[in-house]
Amino acid sequence: MKTSAFERMGSFSEKFSQQLRQLMGQRFQENVPLAAFTTYKTGGPARFFVEPTSAEEVLKLLTLAASEKVPTFILGGGSNLLVSDEGLAGLVIWTRRLKGITREETEVTAQAGVRLASLLKFCLKEQLGGLEFLTGIPGTVGGAAVTNAGLKTSWFSSRVKTVTVLTPEKQTTVGREEICFGYRYSSLTSTFVFSVQLQLLAEKPSLIHSRMVAFMRKRREKQPPPFGTAGSVFKNPPGHFAGELIERCGLKGYSLGGAQISPKHANIIVNTGQASSSEIWRLIQLVRERVKQQYNICLELEINCLGRFDESCGSGRR
Ligand SMILES: Cc1cc2nc3c(=O)[nH]c(=O)nc-3n(C[C@H](O)[C@H](O)[C@H](O)COP(=O)(O)OP(=O)(O)OC[C@H]3O[C@@H](n4cnc5c(N)ncnc54)[C@H](O)[C@@H]3O)c2cc1C
């Protein structure tokens, strides 16, 4: 008989929950439905859910979870996430209260939970350019660093100077050259990104603003409205566009339950209202099978899957 992830957590959960309550007070909750925290609006409950406000608190949480062998998941804006309907049998650390942002000369240091929209607003006010390509991406600084968010030719990593990361009992600041960044990839995945120092350019606000408007206009032309999506589902395979391959398989607009391949952009899956994560996941599998059959190309996921899915999605990033 299959046991649920929560059942597998066993009896240690009561002790762990008491320790978290002591550490976090009201910023600790149990069995929190995660659908409210993902842009897909799907996903089951987090067994333990915390909202730290400082690096010290995060360090304590990571250390405690490691010593109790409780799996840890990091949640930013939830805009690149498919969370299992079964939920997450572990500790979810939500970064939204880590929102400090400072400027020194042409450098800006932003904590993990700063929304990209707030970062852009700050930069515009401070007359610092270089990040406008992030306009319309609904993530946080931590999520953008880890996924190396951006467009085809402009990546978050291009502005990164240093990143401060946390692991159990340790805070380290690493230089850009020590981090491996690639297409929607970074070597930061096994750490907690606490803050990022960005190297920007002093520019006229009118110029920065006009670039932001242009990026937003282009996004609106090409993509469906942002509600119920997590952006591009698949990475573009070398020499191809994932959306084009999916469209040529005749799947544009195809629905499975409440999950639909966007009629506007075939590399985007939309929750049309009542989709479950499992329906989105099954639609992803169907797309992969069809593209493999027709073009012998294995599409790699751009979105991150957390929790258990049938087959190989597993936990963590793909
Ligand atoms: C409408 C829409 C448009 C989008 N357009 C784009 C686009 O043009 N380009 C693009 O690159 N992306 C795009 N995305 C995807 C997404 O917004 C980005 O990947 C974003 O950077 C994810 O940030 P987040 O805070 O939401 O991360 P989350 O979705 O919360 O998390 C993503 C991953 O990062 C990890 N993570 C989050 N914060 C931290 C941290 N502090 N430390 C360590 N790990 C962390 C999570 O555990 C997870 O594995 C789009 C999404 C939507 C909904």
The string of pLDDT tens digits covering residues 164-187 is 999 998 999 999 999 999 999 999
Q: Which of 84, 186, 195, 232 is catalytic?
A: 232
Q: Quick check: 77 pLDDT over 80?
A: yes
Q: What percent of the chain has pLDDT over 70?
A: 94
In the chain, where the domains are located: 12-94, 101-203, 224-306
In this prediction, residues 84-109 reach a mean pLDDT of 97
Top pLDDT among 223 and 176 is at: 176
Ligand 1 residue neighbourhood (C-beta within 6 Å)? 39, 73-81, 95, 112, 137-140, 142-144, 146-147, 149-151, 192-193, 226, 229-231, 304, 317
Q: Quick check: 316 pLDDT over 50?
A: no
Q: What is the pLDDT of residues 241-287, one digit of tens each?
A: 999 999 999 999 999 999 999 999 999 999 999 999 999 999 999 99
Give the CATH fold of the 101-203 domain. 3.30.465
β-bridge partners, 186: 181
> Whole-angstrom Cα distance, residue 176 to residue 169?
22
Give the CATH fold of the 12-94 domain. 3.30.43
Q: Candidates 51, 115, 137, 220: which one to mutate for ligand 1, based on the most atoms within 8 Å of Cβ?
A: 137
Q: Quick check: 289 pLDDT over 90?
A: yes
Q: What is the mean pLDDT of the chain?
A: 93
In this prediction, residues 76-93 reach a mean pLDDT of 97
Grade residue 317 by pLDDT with cuts at 50, 70 and 90: very low
Q: Quick check: 3 pLDDT over 70?
A: no
In this prediction, residues 22-48 reach a mean pLDDT of 97
In this prediction, residues 15-43 reach a mean pLDDT of 96
CATH number 3.90.78.10 given to 224-306: yes
Q: Candidates 80, 91, 153: which one to mutate for ligand 1, based on the most atoms within 8 Å of Cβ?
A: 80
Give the pLDDT confidence score for residue 283 in this predicted structure: 98
Strand ranges for 5-100 from DSSP E: 28-33, 45-50, 72-75, 81-83, 88-94
Q: In the chain, how many H helices and how many E strands?
A: 8, 18
How many whole angstroms from 205 Cα to the centroid of ligand 1?
A: 27
Helix (H, G, I), strand (E, B) or coil at 283: helix
